[in-house]
């Protein structure tokens, strides 16, 4: 088992199949890195790749894909519903088994340096990799996108890049690179069909209305089951744990005399999020990650 990291680069092309395939092939050309998913949206004119591999190989894979995107995408002739600043628009790195957030930040910074030096593209760091606190939020960095940034990058101190030239790349624009936790799509089913209860619980637990910092939530009706659901996105399970969310929903539901029948993960969940929950509920207070047999092996491999 090798140390793993994920990256989900977003490219500003969702229509020309030949361009999309060329970018994917470039990403796929590094041994040890897998393209787990490719999602293209024609309205947004945008493609998102999900890549997983050991940190160094992953960084190389993203770089090669960016090189192709820089050659093949010209933002001066690009339209789409999604805001964007670059041919490669956003590149988050996400730690998985055997890597830490610091490793992900390092990957972001190293890739940024290489892109600035070799591709001559200005680089902005966001979220956990942000250098300026006002750049933690992606939307705060992207703002109105390519055209606005082109006009203001040289004059507006507020828009100057963290690395690279003080002018955007003529055709490929700029790029926003960062590190963040993985998103988990997590839903909890309640033993009631009263949608008001699910909506009230969603309001109580989500960040936007005063709840947990890294939770987005809404209440929705699932008529096929005769139940309602608290439907959530958990944006940083390292800081707001899945079991914390579960317990809070359980307690809020109890106030209405309602119980949890089941929960579900839509798509994928990192190993550590599930193992953290096991550790918590079993009260393994002194447990260390390297007591997981498969991670112990990983550590030994790392020591070579």
> Could you give the residue numbers annotated as active site?
82
Whether residue 176 contacts residue 161, with contact meaning beta carbons closer than 8 Å, is answered with: no
CB nearer a copy of itself, residue 77 or residue 285:
285
Question: From the CB of 3, what's the least distance to a copy of itself, in Å?
Answer: 9
Using the rule CB under 8 A, which residue among 26, 97, 101, 121 binds a copy of itself?
97
Q: Is 8 helix (H, G, I), strand (E, B) or coil?
A: coil
**Rounded Cα distance, 36 and 5, in Å:** 12
Q: Is 208 helix (H, G, I), strand (E, B) or coil?
A: helix
Is 225 an interacting residue with respect to a copy of itself (CB under 8 A)? no
Using the rule CB under 8 A, which residue among 73, 96, 149, 179 binds a copy of itself?
96
**Rounded Cα distance, 143 and 121, in Å:** 18
Is 219 an interacting residue with respect to a copy of itself (CB under 8 A)? no
The interface with a copy of itself within residues 6-45 (CB under 8 A) comprises 6, 34, 36
Q: Which DSSP helix (H) or strand (E) runs through 142? A: helix 138-142
Whether residue 89 contacts residue 10, with contact meaning beta carbons closer than 8 Å, is answered with: yes
**Rounded Cα distance, 60 and 28, in Å:** 10
Is 260 an interacting residue with respect to a copy of itself (CB under 8 A)? yes
Question: From the CB of 65, what's the least distance to a copy of itself, in Å?
Answer: 18
**Rounded Cα distance, 219 and 195, in Å:** 7
Is 228 an interacting residue with respect to a copy of itself (CB under 8 A)? no
Partner residues linked to 177 by β-bridges: 91, 125
CB nearer a copy of itself, residue 222 or residue 268:
268
CB nearer a copy of itself, residue 222 or residue 265:
265
Question: From the CB of 292, what's the least distance to a copy of itself, in Å?
Answer: 5
CB nearer a copy of itself, residue 5 or residue 202:
5
Whether residue 4 contacts residue 53, with contact meaning beta carbons closer than 8 Å, is answered with: yes
Roughly how many angstroms between the first and final C-alpha of the chain, as a whole number? 13
Binding mask of the shown chain, residues 285 to 304, with x at each position contacting a copy of itself by CB under 8 A: xxx---xxxxxxx--xx---
Using the rule CB under 8 A, which residue among 147, 166, 261, 302 binds a copy of itself?
261
Whether residue 77 contacts residue 16, with contact meaning beta carbons closer than 8 Å, is answered with: no
Site for a copy of itself, rule CB under 8 A: 1-2, 4, 6, 34, 36, 52, 96-97, 182, 242-243, 246, 260-265, 267-271, 273-287, 291-297, 300-301
């Amino acid at each position: 088992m090798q140390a793993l990291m994920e990256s989900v680069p977003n490219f500003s092309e969702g229509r020309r199949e030949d361009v999309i395939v060329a970018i994917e092939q470039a990403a796929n050309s590094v041994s040890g890195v897998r393209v787990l998913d490719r999602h293209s949206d024609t309205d947004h004119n945008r493609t998102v790749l999900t890549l997983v591999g050991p940190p160094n190989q992953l960084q190389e894979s993203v770089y090669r894909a960016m090189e192709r995107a820089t050659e093949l995408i010209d933002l001066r002739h690009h339209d789409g519903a999604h805001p964007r600043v670059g041919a490669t628009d956003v590149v988050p790195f996400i730690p998985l088994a055997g890597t830490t957030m610091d490793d992900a930040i390092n990957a972001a910074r190293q890739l940024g340096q290489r892109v600035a030096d070799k591709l001559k593209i200005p680089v902005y760091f966001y979220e956990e990799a942000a250098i300026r606190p006002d750049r933690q939020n992606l939307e705060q960095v992207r703002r109105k996108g390519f055209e606005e940034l082109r006009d203001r990058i040289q004059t507006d101190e507020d828009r100057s890049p963290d690395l690279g030239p003080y002018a955007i790349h003529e055709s490929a624009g700029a790029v926003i690179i960062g590190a963040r936790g993985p998103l988990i799509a997590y839903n909890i089913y309640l033993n009631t069909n009263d949608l008001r209860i699910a909506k009230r619980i969603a309001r109580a637990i989500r960040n936007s209305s005063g709840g947990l910092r890294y939770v987005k939530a809404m209440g929705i009706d699932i008529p096929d089951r005769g139940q309602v659901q608290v439907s959530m996105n958990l944006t940083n399970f390292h800081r707001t744990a899945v079991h914390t969310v579960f317990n809070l929903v359980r307690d809020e539901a109890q106030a209405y005399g309602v119980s949890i029948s089941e929960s579900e993960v839509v798509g994928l969940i990192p190993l550590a999020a599930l193992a953290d929950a096991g550790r918590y509920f079993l009260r393994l207070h002194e447990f260390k990650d390297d007591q997981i047999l498969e991670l112990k092996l990983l550590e030994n491999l790392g020591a070579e």
